[in-house]
Amino acid sequence: MYIAVALLWLRFVDGIALTRWDALGAALALGGMAVIALQPRA
């Protein structure tokens, strides 16, 4: 989650334009977090 928030901060507070690679990296990180957080309980 930190990565996505940091990218939003860069965009809206610092005014730095993000690339598609930034978005892809954040999506991969959030996907990995979802795999860990949403795993089925055995």
CB 33 within 8 A of CB 1: yes
Domain ranges of the chain: 1-38
List CB contacts of 29: < 8 A, sequence separation 6 or more. 3, 4
Helices (H), strands (E): how many in the chain? 2, 0
How do residues 1-42 score in pLDDT, each as one tens digit? 888 899 999 999 999 999 999 999 999 999 999 999 999 987
Interatomic CA distance for residues 38 and 36, integer angstroms: 6
Number of neighbours of residue 31 by Cβ within 10 angstroms: 9
Determine the pLDDT at residue 40. 92
Residue 3 identity: I
Determine the pLDDT at residue 16. 94
